[in-house]
Structure 1
Amino acid sequence: MSHQSGSQPEEVCLVCQDISTGYHYGVPSCNGCKTFFRRTIMKNQTFVCQLEGKCPVDKSIRCACRHCRFEKCLQVGMDRSAIQQNRDPIGYTKRTRRYPPIRRADGNDEFSSNEISVNPIDQKEDNFLVTLALTEQKCNVLRICEFTTSRTLIEAVSSPCLLTDELFMSQYSVPSRRNNASILRFATQADYHYWHERDWFVMIEWAKTIPVFQQLPFPDKLALLRHSAITYPSLMHVFFSPDHGPDTIVFPDGAYFDRTPEPNRPLGFNKKKYQMLDQLLKPLRALEIDLTEFSAFKAIFFLNPDADDVDTSSKKPLSDGRSGITNALYRYMVKKGGSEEAGDRFGRLLLLGTVLATMAVEMKEAVLVADFFDQIQFSTFAKQLLFGIKQE
């Protein structure tokens, strides 16, 4: 049967859903997946998955797990026997020629045969990565400052961004007097509530600095914020915690929690603590990611086109925005440590997104149960953010 290209003018890669550049090894695929499949076969490479072979493979995180990407190639029908053995196993493609020369952060140039002038698209993506890191510094200032807000969720999302208001930031950038991490004390229920509210407040202001978020319809903005509300505070707690050992997370005011069981807390809370310590704190510290890598990872996870209640019309802009940050993050890692180290770090970091997604589902169930049985007294703002707005 002939292929009816007229009914589907723009085919997608069956492996990662990027735009297909034609049929390669029997299936429609992009240049990236075509090259990856050929290289893997020609070099007889074997990969190991860190998450039981269940990693997502799409165009924004297709490089994260090579094992699952190769298995996906085989599942969609890529044919090993179609590879011409006399061809260069890592020959150059249009996509690989897109990237500029890589220069390591230590000043030692890393030359490659695809060196060309900087691509404008790459430059734009790299510039935004720098902006994300600078914004993250402002977020931490806002997080620990004296300023408090009593705005509703609607008011918070629709108002001008405080992080870009130079007058506001100069007036309210004084750290709160309650913040003294040098004196540790075990966290209370009030501490958890306070820092979750602070991080949600910062999350909304941070989101308003991301162009693709600002362009979304208002309901989709709320959907993205609601999707990240469960896990955003966990990321902030883990990354910005002073290092007091592998099993301790410390808030800026010195309140801390560790593996100590807390039987008076809602059901599932202890499990959440252990997940944060084992699945976030431990791997992030092992990777020793810097502020730029953290800010990119946070944005990649936030701009999720598959978040609940996001309209179909918003999925492509979100996917494109996420892909741009992913591209810039990989280039940054290559410049920082070289291509071999970057491939490993890039994959390990992005796979934490799968861990976050799993945690989000379990944590949301725990929050719903706690709310149903009145185990936690949520503020009006928290209820609007976590459970949706029913009236407006």
Structure 2
Amino acid sequence: MPRLHIDRIPNFCKFWIYADHVYAIEWAKTLEFFRLLELGDQRELICFSAWQIMNLNHSYFSYSKGSDKILFPDLTFTVWTPTEAARDIITPLIRLQMDRTEYLLIKALIICNPSCDAASVRTREILQKERIIISKVLFNHCMKSHGKALGPNRFVEILALEGILMHQAQRTKQLQALMTVLNLRSINPKLMDE
């Protein structure tokens, strides 16, 4: 298979996957509880959740621009993403008509996932406490915005997105690993391999 040479990519294109990993790290550093964690646990938590955050960011941006396919801020789009991968998360966002508050809260819940086995017990306890707080805020928002009849169901549907994002992140990691093994990546950022 031919190797993708970066000099063939137009210089106006940004490498969004890498940039969004950096954005995910910087966003996580703004969270108050994140600063309480040991450096090693911060790293493990980022490695565990960065792909999910990145996929949610891409999907929410695309949804907010009215697209049902992954669209980047410079209005470029991917040609290698399987169609079903984009629809895994964008379709539910469209169906739910997710608002920005719900987006930010599910994003916070993703990083507050205590199932990160590589994190210490102390970190998982902190994450669990934060997760409970954020879940209550999300539930109250759903109840206030959609009423007692529709609020609980909406809350559950939003939480279900986390499982979809986790599955999607696993597939994205596998694709990146395959591209590395087949030597199809033009650059090999260490950050993405972790």
Q: So what's the TM-score if we normalise by structure 2?
A: 0.85
d(CA) in 2 for partners of 1:250, 1:283: 16
Corresponding position of 1:337: 146
| Structure 2: distance between partners of 1:285 and 1:191 | 30
CA contact (8 A) 1:191 1:255 kept: no
Q: Which residue of 1 aligns with 2:36?
A: 215
Does the C-alpha gap of structure 1 residues 233 and 192 become closer, same or farther in structure 2, counting only changes over 3 Å? Answer: farther
Matched with 2:94 is 285
Q: Distance in 1 between matches of 2:56 and 2:138?
A: 18
Q: Which has the larger radius of gyration?
A: 1
Partner Cα distance (2:159, 2:124) in 1 = 20
Go from structure 1 to structure 2 and tell me whether the alpha carbon gap of 1:253 and 1:298 turns closer, same or farther (over 3 Å shift).
same
Q: Which residue of 2 is the match for residue 196 of structure 1?
A: 17
Q: Which residue of the partner structure matches residue 300 of structure 1?
A: 109
The within-5 A match list for 1:124-143 is none
| Secondary structure at 2:77 match in 1 | strand
**Sequence identity (%):** 26
TM superposition shift of 1:189 = 9.2
SS of 1:282's partner is helix
Rounded Cα–Cα distance in structure 1 between residues aligned with 2:171 and 2:187: 18
In structure 2, the partner of 1:358 is: 167
Between Structure 1 and Structure 2, the one with more helix by share is 2
In structure 1, distance between residues paired with 2:38 and 2:71: 37
1:348 aligns with 2:154: no
Match of 1:249 among 43, 46, 70: 70
Compare relative contact order (CA 8 Å, sep 6+) and give the higher one, 1 or 2. 2
What's the CA shift for 1:232? Answer: 2.0
Which residue matches 1:377? Answer: 186
User: Tell me, what secondary structure is at the counterpart of 1:250?
Assistant: coil
C-alpha distance in 2, partners of 1:378/1:300?
31
Tell me: CA distance 1:192–1:309, structure 2 relative to 1, closer, same or farther (3 Å).
farther
2:193 aligns to what?
387
Q: 1:362 to 1:249 in 2, by over 3 A?
A: closer
Structure 1's unaligned 5+ residue stretches are 1-187
Which ranges of 4 or more aligned residues in structure 1 deviate by more than 4 Å? 188-193
- Choose the corresponding residue for 1:275, options 85, 90, 93: 85
Q: Does 1:226 align with 2:33?
A: no
Give the alignment's Cα RMSD to 1 decimal. 2.2
Shift of 1:192: 7.9
CA displacement at 1:354 relative to structure 2: 1.0
